[in-house]
Amino acid sequence: MTEPGPANDPTDDLADRVAALMPRAKADLAELVRIPSVADARQFPPEHCLHAAQWVAAAFAEAGLEDVRLAATPNGSHAVLGHRPAPPGAPTVLLYSHYDVQPPLDDSAWQSPPFELTERDGRWYGRGAADCKGNIVMHLTALRALGDDIPVGLKLVVEGSEEQGTGGLEAYVPDHADELRADALLICDTGNAAVGIPTATTVLRGLANVVVTVSTLAGDLHSGMFGGPAPDALAALIRMLDSLRDTDGTTRVNGLDNDGIWPGIGYDEQQFRADAGVLDGVGLLGSGSVADRLWARPAVTVLGIDCPPVVGSAAAVPATARARVGLRVPPGTDAAAAADALAAHLRAAAPWGARVEVEREGTGSAFRASTDGPAYAALDRAVRDAYGKPVSFLGQGGSIPLCNVLAGTFPDAELILMGVEEPRCLIHAPNESVEPSEIERMAHAEALFLRYYGADHGQSSDGAASSSADYC
């Protein structure tokens, strides 16, 4: 592999071209954020998502892609597709993002209107500014900076229902594989460990959710007349849920290992506390490093409980209680087997002979990327030039089911998860924002990646990114 030159090589004006495009990037992001493209017709009219899809299609057509069109997916959403033919013998890169966004949640918690891009303290605020419209703008800026000097083929897919998890694109991909087939897939729906630290996400945890119902009585009973010997269903449920954690908070599900070690970049404990908003004096759960607990070990969360509310509750012994329990599982753990283990654990933990029903709500497999191919080598070279430091590897607690669908459909392709999202972006929360310098440098890195991957494709991948990345 050719040795990378110094960051922002003065003989190459690509960084200057990206910088000159940043006012346009801001204007594009402002237009996109203004469209409330929440893919839930119960909350926002579907016309908003269609408007966003049409905007994205027009922007990428103007940026040089061909046959840009809207394709209906099985859940009724529209994916934006396009392509640019590869030069003879050159590889093809798929560019992915999504234009739908999370709902704004509590408008009163926003310091500025959620669907109006607002600059404050150097950051750009608005719903979708980072997740994932900021990544769409990153793609556009990289392509505009390169112009006609793109030495690879390109394919584009920008989906329209990722945040709702209704599986439109996952269902579309297997039956339309040729439309999306590529040698490297840039899945731009993640981001860096922190501003200024170029990072590829190589691990995504899977999930296994169940709903557990506990029954002990034919009906609720007056606690004054029957309380004491009458078995309390809510108390039984509380004991069962408590059994899922050790005294230090470590997740313990019978049959699941919980001693995994994360080999990539670490996550400073104080930084995690700040990012997560942990209250002063409240301890973190579990043992091992924060990264171990986030990305290499199972983690249980009680997502919801059905029981009498405090206001309006009666002096009665509950006959039934129900909880929704989520389990995040690391790569190497089968999600279906984890769901079985969770269900078995809950049944075994039921006290007093309480009757237990467990309904499996859904599972999603974990994902681990292979990092020793030519695409990762080109990425490392690109971020060294754009950031002046090597690529680091990160895990993510969330699940992106599409990654497993793509990996299964294109087993020989390299998947790279990257983007402009970093912890301060507060994606999915009020006051979501993006750091403009991340859009600029990640667009520069993407443009360099396309250039280097096309030039270096087919060369030996010895000394690829996995040998130079930050493993701490």
Query: Which residues are known to be catalytic?
Result: 100, 162
Q: Which long-range CB contacts under 8 A does 221-228 form with residues at least 24 apart?
A: 221/316, 221/317, 221/319, 222/315, 222/316, 222/317, 223/315, 223/316, 223/317, 224/315, 226/317, 227/317
Q: Which residues contact 456 (CB under 8 A, 6 or more apart)?
A: 1, 2, 374, 377, 378, 381
- Phi-psi sector, 431: left (phi>0), alpha (psi -120 to 50), beta: left
Is the CB of residue 210 less than 8 Å from the CB of residue 323? no
Is the CB of residue 395 less than 8 Å from the CB of residue 204? yes
How far apart (Å, rounded) are the C-alpha atoms in residues 58 and 82?
11
Paired tokens of 305: 């409980």
Which of 442, 432, 444, 441 lies closest to 123, judged by CA? 432
Burial of residue 437 (number of CB atoms within 10 Å: 0-12, 13-18, 19+): middle
Q: Determine if the peptide bond prior to 188 is cis (ω within 30°).
A: no
How far apart (Å, rounded) are the C-alpha atoms in residues 301 and 103?
22
Alpha helix segments (H runs only) across 8-132: 14-20, 22-33, 47-62
Distances from the Cα of 327 to the Cα of 7, 139, 343, angstroms: 42, 34, 11
How far apart (Å, rounded) are the C-alpha atoms in residues 306 and 463?
54
Paired tokens of 295: 């990305």
Is the CB of residue 47 less than 8 Å from the CB of residue 63? no
